[in-house]
Every structure is written in structure tokens, then in C-alpha cells.
Amino acid sequence: MTTPARATFAPRPGAAPVAQQLLTQAGMEARLMLRNGEQLLLALVIPVMVLVGAVQGAERVGLDLDGRPVDVFTPGVLALAALSTAFTSLAIATGFERRYGILKRLGTAPLSRMTLLGGKVLALLAVQVLQFVVIGGVGVALGWDGPDGIVGHLGVLLAALCGTAAFASLGMLLAGTLRAEATLAAANLVYLLLLGGGAVVLPAEAYGGLESWVTWLPSGALGEAMRSACDGTIDAGHLVVLVLWAALGTALTARTFKWE
């Protein structure tokens, strides 16, 4: 009778590669976001309601727009969807993660601040793909033709990426410095203010003398970049504004973010 050889185990303790950490964190963040009813309300229900209501309302009251209402409002609502997910939802979720000590536990793991932020941004982009499919589908059902050509699709992609980076960095800045309750109130307040006065859904020209000012807001820059992209033009100026906001928000977040 022979004795079986003993198995030899060679454990390799240590942190996973940064790319694997990033993808794992992004997957977890996306699953948590899609399971949360409040997040889905902000991500899908409210933008769809705004789109349908704006298109139907504009046609009934005879709102003076430069083009068909569905062509003006659909890109704006796509920008609103990015704002709601990348800023409001992210800020609120991260704020309560700080309160319940989740971020503190993550801070003891080999997960850097940039990896945490990157994972959240990747999760946001995944959710935004779903948002754009749903909102774009509703827009097409209302008569929207979609982005104009390859340049238009590329412009939408660039606007979404730059807008997400800008609003995610600002959302993390808010969540990393305020208490959870204050973050909840501030994020919702900023969302409502930008929805009504940030040139997101309505084009900047609708704000009269404030047109040149609202386009310097990240909301106005994203809305104008998205509308230009859907018309087949890449708006480099407003994309640069979004990149500047992203750089400012990231720098401040890196300096001030608190894990608890």
C-alpha cells in the first residue's frame, strides 16, 4: 500500500494587481447602484419623466426653440442623466459609506484613493451605458434621430467621459468633506439648482444675458457639448471646461478626502 504524496501549498500573500482591484471595485459599485431603488430613480425614472414632459409640454405651449423639441431636449436629458448619476448618486452613496465605516475598512486594504475613485467612475460609466440606451430609446420613440454620424457619436462619448470625470470628482469632494446628512441635502440641492438654472436640459441661449456665464458651469458645459455632439460637431471649448473642472475636483479631493 502506497502512501499518497502530501500536497504542497505555496501561498502568495500580497495585494492584487491594481487593474484587478480597479475592476473588482467597479463591479461591486455598479451592482450596489443598480440594486438601490433611490439610485435607479435618479438614474432612469426622473430623466425619462423630464424628457417626456419637456417634449410634450413644449409642443403644447409653443416654446420657442432652435429646432424640434425632441432634438433639443434629448441631448440635454442625456447630460442630466450623467449629472444625476456621476454627482448626486455618487456623492450620497459615498457620504453614507463614510458614515457607516465602509470607507474606513476599505482604507485598511491596499486600495488607494485613486483606485477607489477610478472604480467608482468605471461603475458610473457602466450605469450610464444603460441610461443612454433607455433614454435614447425613449427619445427615438418620440421622434429623435440620434447623434449625427460618426463624429456625433464620438462627440457624445467624449462629452459623457469628460462630464462624468468632472461631476464624479466634485461628488467625491462633497462626500469626502461633509457629514452624510449634509451631503444628502447639498447634493440634492445642487441637482435641483443645476436642473433649473444650469443649462442642462434647456440650451444656454434660453438664459438670455446669463448665457455666457452658465456655460462655465460643469452642467452648462456638458449640456452644450452634448447638444453639439448630437448635431454632428465636437465642441472642444466646452470639453476643455469639463476637463478643467475634473482636474480641479480631483486635486481638491486628493487633498481633502477623509475616509471617516
The answer to whether residue 2 is domain-embedded is: no
**What one-character-per-residue DSSP string does 4-15 give?**
PPPP------SP
Mean pLDDT of 36-65: 78
Burial 187-215 (b: 16+ CB within 10 A, else e): beebbeebbeebbbbbbbebbeeeeeebb
Mean pLDDT for all residues in the chain: 83
Instruction: Assess whether pLDDT exceeds 60 at residue 3.
Output: no
The answer to whether residue 4 is domain-embedded is: no
When divided into structural domains, the chain yields a total of 1
Q: Which three cell numbers stand for residue 215?
A: 456655460
User: Could you list the residue range(s) of the whole structural domain that residue 185 is in?
Assistant: 18-59+67-256
pLDDT above 90 coverage of the chain, percent: 25
The answer to whether residue 221 is domain-embedded is: yes
pLDDT category of residue 44 using cuts at 50, 70 and 90: confident
Cα 140 from Cα 160, distance rounded (Å): 19
Mean pLDDT of 68-74: 87
The answer to whether residue 7 is domain-embedded is: no
**What one-character-per-residue DSSP string does the chain give?**
-PPPPPP------SPPPHHHHHHHHHHHHHHHHHH-HHHHIIIIIHHHHHHHHHHHHHHHHT---SS-HHHHHHHHHHHHHHHIIIIIIHHHHHHHHHHTTHHHHHHHTT--HHHHHHHHHHHHHHHHHHHHHHHHHHHHHTT---S-HHHHHHHHHHHHHHHHHHHHHHHHHHHTTS-HHHHHHHHHHHHHHHHHHSSSSS-GGGGGGGHHHHTTSHHHHHHHHHHHHHTT---HHHHHHHHHHHHHHHHHHHHH----
Greatest mean pLDDT among 25-29, 56-60, 240-244: 240-244
The answer to whether residue 84 is domain-embedded is: yes
- Angle at CA of residue 211, ends 205 and 212, nearest 5°: 135
Instruction: Assess whether pLDDT exceeds 80 at residue 18.
Output: no
The per-residue pLDDT for range 132-159, each reduced to its tens digit, is 899 999 999 988 988 888 998 999 999 9
The answer to whether residue 156 is domain-embedded is: yes
The answer to whether residue 11 is domain-embedded is: no
Instruction: Assess whether pLDDT exceeds 70 at residue 16.
Output: no
Mean pLDDT of 200-212: 83
pLDDT category of residue 106 using cuts at 50, 70 and 90: low
Instruction: Assess whether pLDDT exceeds 60 at residue 66.
Output: yes
If one compares 147 and 67, the residue with the highest pLDDT of the two is 147
Instruction: Assess whether pLDDT exceeds 90 at residue 24.
Output: no
The answer to whether residue 8 is domain-embedded is: no
If one compares 42 and 136, the residue with the highest pLDDT of the two is 136
pLDDT category of residue 11 using cuts at 50, 70 and 90: low
Residue 118 has a pLDDT of 75
Identify the weakest region by mean pLDDT among 35-39, 97-101, 203-207: 35-39
Residue 198 has a pLDDT of 84
Model confidence, pTM: 0.84
Cα 90 from Cα 176, distance rounded (Å): 11
Cα 202 from Cα 218, distance rounded (Å): 14
Residue 212 has a pLDDT of 81
Greatest mean pLDDT among 178-182, 195-199, 223-227, 256-260: 223-227
Mean pLDDT of 205-216: 84
